[in-house]
Structures are given as C-alpha cells and as structure tokens.
Chains A and B, each alone.
Chain A
C-alpha cells in the first residue's frame, strides 16, 4: 500500500512542477481538479460516468494477469462486444426492454469473450505471444467495425457518419433517476465485485493464481491449465464486451466509429495501477475517471493545453510502473525472514 500511495504523491509532485513551468499555481490546479472531479454531486456524476466503462475494460487486463498473461486487447474486445450487442439488439428490437437489454448483454459478453479467447488459444495452443496478438487484434476489431458500419450493417440515412441502424430510444439503458449517470455504472460495480470474489475467494481463482505463480507446478499437480486459461480469457473479454454493449445501449444507441474511444487503453492503466484486483479497480477507475473529467476545467479556466491531462495521466502511469521495481529494494519493505 505504501508504494502505490507514494507513487501517486510523486506523480502529483511532478505534475505540480509541470504546471509551475506552464506558469500556473500548482495548488490552484490541484484544487480545480479536485473540484471538477469530486467537489460536488454535479461534478462527481461526470467522474462516475467516465469510470463505468473503465471498470469493465480494466477487468480485461486484470483477470488474465492473474494467470501471468499480459492481455491488452481491451479496445478490440470492447468494439466486438459493442458490435455483437448492436446486432443482437436490432434482431430483437420489438421485444420488451428488459429482454432487449439482457440479449444485448449476453451478446456483448459472448462477442468480447470469444475475441480474447482467441488470444488465449493462440497462446496455449501455438505459443503466440498474447500481448502482441491481443494488441494487433485491436486493429482487426476496429477494421471489422468500420467495414460493417460502412457496409452490411449500415443505416443508409447515416450519410456523413456511417452507422448501424439505431436501437429504439425506449429500448435503451436509461439514466439512474434524474442524474446523468446511466446504469452502466451498476454493471461495472457488479462485475468488479464478482471478479474480486471469484479471483480472491473461490477455488477457481486459487487455481488461476497457482498457474500464474508457477505454470509447471500447476501442470504437475494436475490442473487443466489451458482450459482454466481459456475460461479466464473469456471472462476477461466478456467484461470488456459489456463495456461495448453499454456504450451502445446507454450512450450512442448505434454502432459506429465512436465505439473505439480509447476506454480499452485507459482500462490497461487502471488494471496495472489496481494491481489486477477487483475492488481496487473500482477505486482506481473512479480516480482516473475524475482525472479525465477534470481535463476540461484545466483548458477552460487555466488555458492549459488540451494534452495537459494526458501528461498527468502518463506521469501517474510511469511512476507507478517504475515503483514496481522498488519492491524488495529497501529493507523495510522486505518480508521478515523466518
């Protein structure tokens, strides 16, 4: 706990220096970030809306990480999940709203899940590096998306922004009460809690962690390594697939190029920072959602360049990754020898 907290503090200090070089008072900037992200219910809604897809895409990296796999195909799984959900939703658009949403959720999970299962299968059957294959599959997913919304799935009335046919308004996921937060947040929270219970408190998670700890030992003790690996990959992709489903069902109402908005890549950051655990993912996604939500005020109030918030995000990421190398370097972090 000390190291991640320390890393965030160091990142804040570095970003403060950056702001000072830009001629802004760092404390005023921090105060504004806090106000725009967490200061009131009005601004906290923005943070939550941004955090919801990050919770789901983060799981796509976090679950396979416990197996020792580094999967970064979150964006692709999100896109494929969104596409599958759109196709399924359009196919049953006349059904009651609960049915439409359930069918879309299932389709999103299956689409995204199978997408990442392919990466897992390539790894377990053919030894293909899962990081490279999942990264490259992002581009394939986006190309498939562009092909489908420009061709077979295209609504001919979407002239200048090719899109699929729309899901009817009354079949979409609504906002919660009179807030601006949609029900996608509930999906994110539930998925993270399930992931946490499954990985930390169930036999399945124990087996997965055993494979991650030492794959040979796991094989020797008779664990079906490939099968467990593929199931985990499927669950990971399914989480990102739900994120894609929510983008369609709660935000856009149709599939188009806006699906690939970078939530997948931001999810990788969340997973790393949360050290691949379900509950911390909720916290980190909310924090990053807040950082992203405050990007606007830095531009409008401080006239800082639009890339400033990416500088901040990048600093946090780099410092936390670097802090990993500190484990075991200092005496007081070492576990006491027996």
Chain B
C-alpha cells in the first residue's frame, strides 16, 4: 500500500514537473468544435498550436456568453495552469474577459475581434483579428465568374461592421470581373439559426441566385442547401468542400494556427502584454498569413482562377486596396471620392455602416 502511494506521489510530481515546462493554453468556443465555421476555425488553430511539443492545450466548447465563460477561464487558469487563454467569441470580451483579467494579472487574455483600449482595459488583455475581407474579395472574383444569372446571394447574421465589410468586399470582388453582378443580402438576425439560414438560401435560389455565400457562425446548412439545389457556393470561416463537393468554388478561411503559434512562442520567450513586449492589437491579412483562400473547387473556371490568383498576388505584395474611390453606396451616396483610398488599417472600416453599389439590401433590418 505504502509503495503504491509512493509511486502515485512520484507520478504526480513527475507530471506536474512536466507541466511546469509546458506552456498551458486554454481555448474557449461559443459553439461546437465541428460546425464547419467560426468555432471549427479556432479549434483547428488550437490543434495547430498543439503540434508544438511544449504546448499543453485545453479546450471547452459550447460555453455561453454568461458567467459560465468567467468560470471556464478561472478553471483553465487555476486547475489546468493556463498561461494564455483565448476566449474566442466576440461576446466574451465585455464584461467577462475584462473582469477575470483583472483577477489574474500574470495570465495573457487574448480575444478575437475586440478593440483593446489602453488605460480603459486591463494591461494583460490583447486582441487579434484578421482582414478576412481580402479572402472574401477573392471569393467574390471567383463567384463573379461562375454566375450565369449575375445574381449572387449573401446570407448574413447581423448588419454590424465586420459583416458589412465582408458583404462589400464580396460585391466589389464580383463586380471587378462582372460589372453586371448584384449581391442580394438577407440578414437572419442571429449568429446561429440554421432554420432561418436554410429558408434564406431556398428563397434566394428561387429568386434566381446561382452563387451563394454567407457570414454566419456555421455555413453548414447553406453549403448543403446550395449543393442540393445544384448551384455554386463560396465558403466562410473554414473549408467546406466536404459539404459541397461539386458546387464549392473557393472560400475565405481563417488561419489561426499561425496566430496562436506566434503568441505561444512569444509567451515561451518570456514576453507579455503587460510589459509591452506583445502588442495589444494584432491584425493581419493574406500577406501576414492570418487568413487564407480555400483551394479551388472543381467548378472554378480557368479564367476565374487566373483573375483570383492575380488579385491574391497583389494582396501579397501589398499593392491591393479593396475600398478605394470612386465608391458609392447602394442608395447613390458617395462614400469615397475618386483618388481616395481606405487601407485595411483605416478605423473608418471598423465602423462601416453602408453597403456598396450593387448590393441589394439595407443595413436597417
């Protein structure tokens, strides 16, 4: 008996010693890990960072934006020894992350999409996001080539800046190769509402839309509906070719593995947000490797691939600007005069409240 206890004790000591060498990283998702969408993209990022032998990752999925997420963060820090937590849902930021971050000043709290404000938020909080509108713009180019009716459909969750930016990028991409193309938008009002998304897809297809795309948490039902109805679709968040093997043209994907690996390496090297050695705001697009474009599906034409690759090359060398004048919104109001450009970092883009010419729909939903 004594030897059993002794061996158990040594085993525990050994594991805790092992754990001490490892960097604990906690990931929290608002939905399931296999949603072919927002949460899957982050879970793939978690799987990516766990490739590093010195990273010990823990995950928790389907955590609501309530005190439940505060509890999960505390558990990951206290019980699993996490040094970095990635609570990935937008709604986790205020008040949950801000509250728990104050209690654990040594832990790095990194949030996807939030806006860190110096002086107002705890110093150990940082935010990261990707310019995914670049990949959406390229999807738009491929969609503009693929459509025969010149009617594209966009199923969106809410008329908020991050979503509007993608709708506009998609429309601008499509109209750069097919000036006749229009993008019909339907807002479902919810991040995850598969029934409404399926209804929206069916209604758009019945109106003659022949390429669909979306910005909702899980594109699953939209991809499946498009495939069943025999039209094309471009993906969002994660690669969806498995759900639409025939109609999947391409898609805009996150590449969180790269972002999470960078953060883990910084923390291992002793850097921290509070000391200022990890920047509080991290942003990047195709060039920085934060986002990527899905491999082309079988339905993407050679001409489409050529135009899309050309745009991608311009994003990679930094010469591409998506939002540049002359630009009008869909009510005819001028947004940008000729010659004026809004680069990706422009704060105006983070507060976008308009839809560009060629988009059929209204932000007042």
Contact = CB atoms under 8 A, between A and B. Distances in A.
Interface string B186-218: 000100000000000000000000000000000
B91 interface: yes
Contact of A146 (B91, B162, B189, B350): B189
Contacts, number: 72
A150 B80 CA distance: 38
B74 interface: yes
Given A258-B66, A306-B60, A306-B62, A160 B160 contact: yes
A180 B68 contact: no
The listed residue with most B CB atoms (<10 A of its CB), out of A36, A50, A180, A300, is: A300
A297 interface: yes
B66 A159 contact: no
B71 A46 contact: yes
Bin the interface of chain B by size: 35 or more
B332 to A, nearest CB: 24
B161 A160 contact: yes
Contacts of A224: none
B160 A261 contact: no
Interface string B92-112: 001100000000000000000
B61 A49 contact: no
A160 B163 CA distance: 9
Contact of A180 (B59, B60, B74): B74
B124 interface: no
Contacts of B113: 160
A261 B91 contact: no
B67 A49 contact: yes
Interface string B58-77: 11111111111011101110
Bin the interface of chain A by size: 20 to 34
A307 B63 CA distance: 11
Contact of A161 (B66, B68, B75, B90): B90
B32 interface: yes
Nearest to B32: A306
A98 B222 CA distance: 50
A237 interface: no
A262 B65 CA distance: 11
B62 to A, nearest CB: 4
A247 B32 CA distance: 24
30 contacts: A36-B75, A42-B78, A50-B67, A159-B115, A159-B350, A160-B161, A160-B162, A161-B94, A162-B160, A180-B70, A180-B71, A247-B66, A251-B66, A258-B65, A258-B91, A261-B65, A262-B64, A292-B68, A296-B71, A296-B72, A296-B75, A297-B75, A297-B79, A299-B61, A300-B75, A300-B76, A300-B80, A306-B32, A306-B33, A307-B32
Interface of B: 32-33, 58-68, 70-72, 74-76, 78-80, 90-91, 94-95, 113, 115, 158, 160-162, 189, 350-351
